Amino acid sequence: MRPAPGNILIVDDEPQVCHLIQEELAEHGFSCQIVTEPLQAKDLLDTQQFGLLIADIAMPRVGGLDLLAYVRQCLPACRVILITGVSTREYLAQAILLGAYDYIEKPFKMKELAETVSRAFSDEAGTASLPARAAEAMEYATHAKLASLESIRALARAGEAKDPHTWRHSEQVTHYAVNLARELSLSEAEVECIRVASLLHDVGKIGVPDSILTKPGPLTDQEFEFIRRHPALGADILANITVFGQEAHLVRYHHERWDGKGYPEGLAGEKIPLGSRIIQVADCMDAMLMDRVYKRGYPVERMLAELERCAGTQFDPKVATAAASWARMSPEKLILPSATQVQRNQALSRQGEAVVGGERG
């Protein structure tokens, strides 16, 4: 069941704020329910369908970020607008990148809120201004935080939070990419750039609808177009954040192919940045070995065979050869599914045989 488009849940521990928002939105034709106890909001989200949640980011026991995470699990089609005070700006980057549609700062104008709500219901893709919103939120943080590893990891988890099957994927891709970069004798400065770009390579998936990322069967052409947009969207987000300029370049081209049949620009051969070629191989290694909602994880030997088979077509042959050699020389460094993942693997449907390299996007 899809949420009713105009049905809104308002959650704030200040009753006066709730009633003011309800009255304003009612004048614009929206149906609203108000809750001043956040725990009650979870019960309503479990039992009713909402098109939009408006929640204060700072509430006792259960805050807006908690409700945002809960909505992503139980009602993924519901959009979330957060209400925040200036003192809570530090949370905005993670909130927006993890799926909040937008935010309003206190004290806010009712007209501004009504316009944001209307846009949330009329904006079909919900991504038109996403790079600017995400970058703006990141710029609120201090430069020290932008440069910190934890801030980078928060960005990396953005796409993964939408699909539990790809949890820790970015960190695992980084593990492979760094080892491959060193296998190819790159400088430590190059290795560091690849390390950060690997962590951020899928941040653009925040612009891909959850229903597509978690679809068990084959994608339609229209659905795959959303997937094809994520490298450019991720690069656009990062390009707006000064400290990630070099990494944005690598992220944009990590789905290009050696034979020119990749995306977003169809670059071929050495026109593709070397760092992007390394990330692509690392990305596919992890995707092949791990379960996905649309395919089972490959045994190690099949993964190695795919690397060698696709060398010179999908992959830079030098990078693919180095990857296969490294994996055979250091099998203990390969990250394999846990026992729990293996059990889930056995239950996965065979619908939608994996694309070459095992990675849908």
Q: Which position has the higher pLDDT, 353 or 59?
A: 59
Judge whether residue 177 has pLDDT over 90.
Answer: yes
Please give the angle made by the CA atoms of 346, 74 and 41, to the nearest 5 degrees: 155
pLDDT of the residue at 23 = 93
pLDDT tens digit sequence for 192-219: 999 989 988 988 887 777 778 777 778 8
Judge whether residue 153 has pLDDT over 90.
Answer: no
List the chain domain ranges.
7-123, 145-347
Continuous H helices in the chain: 15-27, 38-47, 64-74, 92-97, 110-122, 130-140, 143-147, 149-160, 169-183, 188-200, 210-213, 221-239, 245-252, 274-289, 300-309, 317-329, 339-347
On the question of a common fold for 7-123 and 145-347, the answer reads no
pLDDT of the residue at 68 = 87
Judge whether residue 80 has pLDDT over 60.
Answer: yes
221 exposure class (CB count in 10 Å sphere: 0-12, 13-18, 19+) = exposed
The least confident of 54-63, 83-92, 105-114, 185-194 is 83-92
The least confident of 136-150, 231-245, 254-268 is 136-150
pLDDT tens digit sequence for 99-120: 788 888 888 888 888 998 998 8
DSSP secondary structure string for all residues of 14-57? -HHHHHHHHHHHHHTT-EEEEESSHHHHHHHHHHS--SEEEEES
The alpha carbon of residue 162 and the mean position of all alpha carbons in its chain are separated, in whole angstroms, by 6
pLDDT of the residue at 158 = 60
| Location of structure tokens 């889930």 | 344
Q: Which of 100, 101, 68, 107 is nearest to 85 (CA)?
A: 107
Residue 346 pLDDT level (bands cut at 50, 70, 90): very low
238 exposure class (CB count in 10 Å sphere: 0-12, 13-18, 19+) = buried
Query: Which secondary-structure segment (H or E) carries 103?
Result: strand 102-105
C-alpha distances in angstroms, 218 versus 92, 280, 354? 34, 21, 9
CATH number for the domain whose boundaries are 145-347: 1.10.3210.10
Instruction: Assign domain 7-123 to a CATH class.
Output: alpha beta
pLDDT of the residue at 85 = 74
Q: Which of 46, 73, 48, 56 is nearest to 18 (CA)?
A: 56
Judge whether residue 129 has pLDDT over 70.
Answer: no
**The whole model's pTM is what?**
0.61
Whether the Cβ atoms of residue 319 and residue 304 lie closer than 8 Å to each other = no
Peptide bond into 264 cis (omega under 30): yes
pLDDT of the residue at 6 = 65
Residue 339 pLDDT level (bands cut at 50, 70, 90): very low
Query: What does the mean pLDDT of the chain come to?
Result: 80
Which is catalytic among the residues 42, 106, 145, 205?
A: 205
Residue 89 pLDDT level (bands cut at 50, 70, 90): low
% pLDDT > 70, the chain: 75
pLDDT of the residue at 73 = 77
333 in catalytic set: no
